[in-house]
Amino acid sequence: MTLAIITPLNSGIREIVLESLKMKFVIYNKLTVAIFCNFQIHNKKDMLIDLRSDTVTKPTKEMHAAMMNAEVGDDVFGEDPSVKKLEEKCASLLGMEAAVFCPSGTMTNQIGIKVLTQPYDEVICYKGSHIYKYEGGGMAGNCLVSARLIEGDRGRLSVKDVEESINNYNDPHQPRTSVVALENTVVREGGSYYTLDQIKEVSEFSRSKGLKMHMDGARIFNALTETKEEAKAYGKYFDTISVCLSKGLGAPVGSVLVCKKEFEHQVRRIRKVFGGGMRQAGYLAAAGVYALDHHIKRLGEDHKRAREMESILKKLGWIEKVKPVDSNIVIFVIDNKFTPEQVLQRLSEYNIKALKFGPQEIRMVTHLDFTDDMLEQTNKIFKELSF
């Protein structure tokens, strides 16, 4: 059977693919037709490659079994053993005293900021941070605080950034600066990360000025994979740390707010207010425990694949810039002759999903369900994609 696929390209160019003959005709205008022989069709319909986020993974068979075998109880009454196990594990892992399981990273961030601030306070954070840019204005709405936005070094705040941003408490015009919030890794900056020394410096300085410390550690284990530092060492530098189980770690749902003991009761109270108290949540917590036990050690594979993609993208003429890839997030800026929508449409023809991430930016994130086969396929398609 001969299959012909006619794809409209830009400005009237047509592509006709004859699958059985392994031939492709590209008609540029009435006079110019190019014929490619031995052309391979790459859009294998059975291989969907979803690179929009590391949140798209599905539980592995083993994780699923751990979930189904979980012992559960009513966690709002504090009676779910699997949730307790997860909370104790997270607190101990990060060298902190307490932890509270919540439905999402947005909720753990919002609760963290809420318990560390009073209405009309100000939070110092990176200008592209998730807490500011991607939580629906929750800091303003839930916590009644303003944000002092910092450029940082690829999203990382320094002592100087903090020092220059602290308002004068004695001036009633200015909001009271009360929290420094660090994102680690920084999503908008190719997953850039802090070293423990950088964190120590910022934390010690900020605390010397009476400020509290929050970390959006949605991808903290990606950061630690790169720095090869001990998670346990982090706790002492923060009052609250949000850890996501449903990103690189591959659990289906959930984040944990790790905190100092003195904040635990208030964290549980605010979780209830936000509607985040879950009943037999142990099924989800068991996935989290499984993820912490089995999926941290494989994160380096995601980083390696992301860097391989980075090296391919850097060679493509229609890509203006690839942001440095520090962990599992690949962000590239396309030539302004094209729109992200055009590129995403072309990729979708080959069953590849990516995400528009700015006016000319596209994001791809590697994860547990992105295999070497998929990497090979993605790289091949990018190399052959023409506009």
Ligand X SMILES: Cc1ncc(COP(=O)(O)O)c(C=O)c1O
Judged by CB, which is closer to ligand X: 27, or 56? 56
**Shortest distance in whole angstroms from residue 347 CB to ligand X:** 21
| Closest distance of CB 115 from ligand X, Å | 17
Q: Which of 116, 63, 109 is nearest to 256 (CA)?
A: 109
Shortest distance in whole angstroms from residue 308 CB to ligand X = 22
CB of 225 vs ligand X, minimal distance in Å: 16
The helix or strand, by DSSP H or E, that contains position 179, with its residue range, turns out to be strand 176-183
Start-to-end C-alpha separation, the chain:
29
Which secondary-structure segment (H or E) carries 292?
helix 282-294
Nearer to ligand X among residue 326 and residue 350 (C-beta): 326
280 vs 73, 273, 362, CA distance in Å? Answer: 5, 18, 38
In the sheet where 176-183 sits, what is the strand order?
Answer: 98-102, 255-259, 240-244, 212-217, 176-183, 121-126, 146-150
Nearer to ligand X, 192 or 255 (CB): 255
183/302 with CB nearer ligand X: 183
In whole angstroms, the minimum distance from the beta carbon of 338 to ligand X comes to: 26
Binding site for ligand X (CB under 6 A): 55, 104-106, 109, 130, 183, 187, 216, 218, 244, 246, 255
Instruction: Kindly tell me which of 178 and 246 has the beta carbon lying closer to ligand X.
Output: 246
Q: Do residues 110 and 276 lie in contact, with contact meaning Cβ atoms separated by under 8 Å?
A: no
Nearer to ligand X, 106 or 198 (CB): 106
Closest Cα partner for 377 from 277, 295, 309?
A: 309
Q: Which residue, 246 or 378, has its beta carbon nearer to ligand X?
A: 246
Q: Which of 252, 217, 219, 250 is nearest to 103 (CA)?
A: 252
Shortest distance (Å) from residue 316 CB to ligand X: 26
Distance CA 123, CA 139 (A): 9
Contact 130, 218 (CB under 8 A): yes
Q: Which residue in the shown chain puts its C-beta closest to ligand X?
A: 105
Interatomic CA distance for residues 15 and 245, integer angstroms: 43
- Cβ 17 to ligand X shortest distance, Å: 37
